[in-house]
Chain A
Amino acid sequence: MKAVETFTTDFESTLDLPDDNLNLLRRESFEEFKKHGLPTRKEEYWKYSDPSIISNLELEFVSSGQYEDENYDVILVNGKIVKRFKDCQMGDISEGLRSGNLGEDLFKKKDKPFLNLNNAFAINGCYLILESTSRQTIRILNLITNEGKSQAVHPRCVIIAKRNSESVIFEEFRIMGNGTSFVNSVTDVIIEDGANLEHIIMDDFAENTYHVANVCVKQYKDSNFVSHNFTMGKKFARRDFNVELNQSGANCNLFGLYFVDEENHIDHHTTIDHKEAHCNSKEHYKGILSGKSTGVFNGRIHVHPGAQKTDAIQNNQNLLLSDDAIIHTKPELEIYADDVKCTHGATIGPLDEKGLFYLRSRGLNRKEAQQILMRAYVNEIIENVSDEKIRSELMELILDRLPKEG
């Protein structure tokens, strides 16, 4: 367990800051993390993704760096803010706690080891408070810089959409350099009454990246959340996407697209908690796998007692471009209310041979024909992004990153 040892040394080395409230919370989270250590495959939710791949890494904690880019409103380098957006209230985590803009609840110990680990390292991070009722688009870059090192970063971002606000947040994760990186990111999203938030999260990492991400969304009365989750997984990617529909009239629409190739691994665990009556959720995740890659999709819908008139739809589709690629897809429905509508479906298959023959019979070669079919496949997800400029940027990038057949 090299990783846990280095986490401990690194954690202790970051404690020589003033022993304020944040440090107390951090200590608690780290104690909790150490009590359980990293998860193992014996745990149900890690059955198909082996976290020991991380525990054997020797990692150095990094939390600083510099970068400039005009295309982004907010830039974090290795988890620390280097560029601020002037048109909304924002700051780092310790400032947020001191000023009372952030509640302590977010940083109290949790039942997920990687969340506790992120909390333990929540020194910098960033929070944004969205208040504008006229639609505001904010682009955030979460950049990891790594020149040949083996490092751990724990980026944290808290987004609070205030009552009746309207916003689009594009949160992008990128890597510069060719080192080995363990990125343990957490994004908290709080959507207050009547607020509308469209959130795009995308990662485009380098070869040796191990990414564990937790996205935790809490929705309140009559709020709307549209999420676009693009994961171009590298070595190891695990993303837990959790949405709590806490009050009636809250709706969420979750779109996801993931790619994985070679011997890489990608895992999505999504959970939608229907806690109150009259909430709707729609989820559509699509994947493309090639080479000897493996993928996991575990979609949980939990309808709590009293959450009547719940309408939940879940759909997961997977395209396998090789005989050796493997996908584990599993819907998980837990329903404790009797007047609800829940549907789910999963498909796994190769590219449509009839479609390929049709395209080729018109003069397009096999590669071009595949490109056309795959473009259509991914577009079904990408077309839901409302901002035209972001949508075409995403399309261009994604077409470039599509896994190749075989």
Chain B
Amino acid sequence: MLKIENLHVSIGGNQILKGINLEVKAGETHAIMGPNGSGKSTLAQVLAGHEEYEITDGKIEYLSKDLLGMDIEERACEGIFLAFQYPVELPGVNNTYFLKSALNAQRKYRGEKEMDAMEFIDLIGDKIKLLNLKDSLLKRPVNEGFSGGEKKRNEIFQMAVLEPKLALLDETDSGLDIDALRVVANGINSMRKEDNAIIIVTHYQRLLNYIVPDFVHVLVDGKIINSGDKNLALELEEKGYDRIVEEAKA
């Protein structure tokens, strides 16, 4: 599904990613872990198409297409979804209206009929329950005045409605209490299917107790220095990043 080769990325002259290689197949869940400033979020943003980053080398193939040649919205319509680390507040933009417009933009792209208000309300009913979302949040402006946990839940709610092929979860666990973490993780798990994939970007092993990854990668200073299965995450938690870095160098 996704093949990243030798990806080099810089912003404002600073080299952030220094040769990333990663392959993600349909049905897989990958976790990318790493200390602050290692480039985890940059990778997620670059995949979503953020225009501030400069790709200095490498290529990304997504569903056999050149991902770097696509606009932000084209990537979204092709099934890439980024759950933001810091979801953006849109004052005055109604949450339901926003999501319906987004869904219809994607349906239009795929040549499907756009949904009217009634069909849309039917569609979101179950997903609201799945994420235990307050009805009132749907009537409010997007993310405005939402608590940290509500914002993250709203991201996963959007994911549930848009049904992406490749979901990028950027620090989705930060700001969530234990109960909310469980709700969000259950929501994500229920969306795992044979034909989609998830990349989870996180500092901590915590979320991975609930969403068990097939692969874990350790990203340090713009490079993946170690890859393994779920046990690597446990090892990281136990030893800390410094020891893993040293061991990798040795």
A:97-119 near B, CB below 8 Å: none
Known: A358-B84, A372-B98, A372-B101. A364 touches B92 (CB 8 A): no
Closest residue of A by beta carbon distance from B75: A361
Asked if A363 contacts B93 (CB within 8 A), the reply is no
Q: Which residues of B contact A369 (CB under 8 A)?
A: 73
Residues of B within 8 A of A360 (CB): 49, 71-73, 76
- Using known A-B contacts A362-B158, A363-B76, A363-B109, determine if residue A380 contacts B102 with beta carbons closer than 8 Å: no
Q: Is A8 an interface residue (CB 8 A)?
A: no
Give the bracket for the number of chain B residues in contact with chain A. 20 to 34
Pairwise interchain contact A361-B92, C-beta atoms closer than 8 A: no
Contact indicator A376/B90 (Cβ below 8 Å): yes
Is B48 located at the chain interface by the 8 A CB criterion? yes
A366 to B98, CA, bound (A): 14
B92 near A379 with CB under 8 A, answer yes
Instruction: Write out the residue numbers on chain B whose beta carbons fall within 8 Å of the beta carbon of A355.
Output: 88, 90
For the complex, give the distance between the alpha carbons of A375 and B102 in Å: 16
Residue contact B93 to A373, C-beta cutoff 8 Å: yes
Q: Does A372 contact B93, Cβ atoms closer than 8 Å?
A: yes
Whether A364 and B88, one on each chain, are in contact in the complex, defined by CB atoms closer than 8 angstroms, is no
As a 0/1 sequence over residues 339 to 362 of chain A, the CB contacts with chain B under 8 angstroms (1 = contact) are 000000000000010110111111
Q: Do B102 and A364 touch across chains, with their CB atoms under 8 A apart?
A: yes
Most buried by A among B73, B77, B82, B101: B73
Chain B residues with CB under 8 Å of A358's CB are 84, 87-88, 90
Residues 83-112 of chain B: 1 if any A CB is under 8 Å from the residue's CB, otherwise 0?
010011011110000110111011001000
Say yes or no: B101 contacts A364, CB within 8 Å: yes
Which residues of the partner chain A approach B162 to less than 8 Å between Cβ atoms? 362-363
Task: Find chain B residues with CB under 8 A from A66 CB.
Answer: none
Interface SS of A by simple majority = helix
User: Which of chain B's residues has its CB closest to A376's CB?
Assistant: B92
Q: Which residue of A lies closest to B48 (CB)?
A: A361
> How many whole Å from A180's CB to the nearest CB in chain B?
38
CB distance from B49 to the nearest CB of A (A): 7
CB distance from B173 to the nearest CB of A (A): 20
Interface size, chain A (Cβ < 8 Å): 22
Cβ < 8 Å to A, chain B residues 26-84: 48-51, 71-73, 75-77, 81-82, 84
Given contacts A358-B87, A362-B158, A364-B101, whether A380 and B73 have CB atoms under 8 Å apart is no
CA distance A361 to B80 in the complex (A): 8
Asked if residues A376 and B91 are in contact (CB atoms below 8 Å), the reply is: yes
**Which B residue's beta carbon lies closest to that of A369?**
B73
Q: Give A360 to B72 CA distance when docked, in angstroms.
A: 6
Q: Check if A364 sits within 8 Å of B93, measured CB to CB.
A: no
**A residues less than 8 Å from B175 (CB atoms):** none
Provided the pairs A366-B73, A372-B101 are in contact, do residues A361 and B93 lie with their beta carbons within 8 angstroms?
A: no
Contact with A along B107-151 (1 / 0, CB 8 A): 001000000000000000000000000000000010000000000
CA–CA, A123 to B226, complex, Å?
Answer: 88
The contact of B101 among A352, A354, A368, by CB within 8 Å, is A368
Q: Is the CB of B82 within 8 A of A361?
A: yes
Q: How far is the CB of A374 from chain B (nearest CB, A)?
A: 10
Contact in complex: A361, B90 (CB < 8 Å): no
Q: How far is the CA of A365 from the CA of B101 in the complex (A)?
A: 11
Chain A residues with CB under 8 Å of B158's CB are 362
Given the known inter-chain contacts A357-B50, A358-B84, A372-B98, please indicate yes or no for A364 contacting B73, CB distance below 8 A.
Answer: yes
Known contacts A360-B76, A362-B76; A368/B90 CB under 8 A: no
- Interface of chain A residues 37 through 87 with chain B (CB within 8 A): none
- Please report the C-alpha to C-alpha distance between residue A363 and residue B109 in the assembled complex, in whole angstroms: 9
How far does the Cβ of B127 sit from chain A's closest Cβ, in whole Å? Answer: 15
Q: Which residues of A contact B75 (CB under 8 A)?
A: 361
Question: A356 to chain B: closest CB distance in Å?
Answer: 9
- Is A241 interfacial (CB 8 A cutoff)? no
Complexed CA–CA distance, A380 and B92 (Å): 7
Is there a chain B Cβ closer than 8 Å to A11's Cβ?
no
Of the residues B82, B84, B105, contact of A364 by C-beta under 8 Å: B105
Complex formed: what's the CA distance from A362 to B92 in Å? 18
**Chain A residues, CB < 8 A from B90:** 355, 358-359, 372-373, 376
Least CB separation from B49: chain A residue: A361
Check A363/B92 contact, CB under 8 A, given A357-B50, A376-B141.
no
Contact B141 A361 (CB under 8 A): no
Given the complex of chains A and B, what is the CA–CA distance between A372 and B103 in angstroms?
Answer: 14
Residues of chain A with a CB closer than 8 A to B106's CB: 363
State the Cβ distance, A405 to closest chain B Cβ, in Å.
15
Give the chain A neighbours of B71 by CB distance below 8 A.
360, 365-366
What is the 8 Å Cβ interface bit string for chain A, positions 292-312, against chain B (1 contact, 0 not)?
000000000000000000000
Are A376 and B76 touching (Cβ within 8 A)?
Answer: no
Given A368-B101, A376-B91, CB of A363 within 8 Å of CB of B50: no
Bound state CA distance, A402 and B73, in angstroms?
23
Q: In the complex where A373-B93, A380-B92 touch, is A361 in contact with B101 (Cβ < 8 A)?
A: no
Report which of A354, A372, A380 forms a contact with B88, defined as CB distance below 8 A.
Answer: A354
* Sampled A-B contacts (29; CB under 8 Å): A352-B88, A354-B88, A355-B90, A357-B50, A357-B51, A359-B98, A360-B71, A361-B72, A361-B73, A361-B75, A361-B76, A361-B81, A361-B84, A362-B99, A362-B102, A363-B76, A363-B106, A363-B109, A364-B105, A365-B71, A366-B71, A368-B105, A372-B93, A372-B101, A373-B93, A375-B93, A376-B93, A377-B92, A380-B92
* A-B interface, 5 closest residue pairs, ranked by CB to CB distance from nearest: A376-B92, A362-B102, A358-B88, A363-B76, A360-B72
Beyond the given A359-B98, A360-B49, could you list 12 further A-B residue pairs with CB under 8 A, ordered by the A residue number? A357-B51, A361-B84, A362-B102, A362-B105, A363-B102, A363-B105, A365-B71, A368-B101, A372-B93, A372-B101, A373-B93, A376-B93
